[in-house]
Amino acid sequence: SCGMAAPTMEERKACWGARDEFWRCLDRLGDEAAECEKLRRAFEARCPQQWVKHFDKRRDFLKYKKKLETEGYHPPEAAGKS
């Protein structure tokens, strides 16, 4: 697709599908998993770059929220003093 043209419904579906597959892979194998790399590339290829940035932020936020829910809040200064 060219420049800032709004994605069509088909393109949006392809983008969301690629994102969901990528995220599922990360959830299953962990965020550093090499196996998820090709899904990451598909996600980047199918989604406008702005969306990729937005979804990355969103995922970080959701992970952070989940962490808070499961572990509770730890003030930053407690980190690294194990």
Domain borders along the chain are: 10-66
Among left, alpha and beta (phi > 0; psi -120 to 50; other), residue 24 is alpha
State the CB neighbour count (10 A cutoff) for residue 79: 8
Residue 48 confidence (pLDDT): 95
Residue 6: closest CA among 39, 34, 37, 47: 47
Residue 1 confidence (pLDDT): 43
Residue 79 confidence (pLDDT): 55
Question: Does the pTM of the predicted model rise above 0.85?
Answer: no
pLDDT by residue for the chain (82 residues), tens only, comes to 445 577 899 999 999 999 999 999 999 999 889 999 999 999 999 999 999 999 999 999 999 999 999 888 766 775 555 5
Q: What is the DSSP letter of 36?
A: G
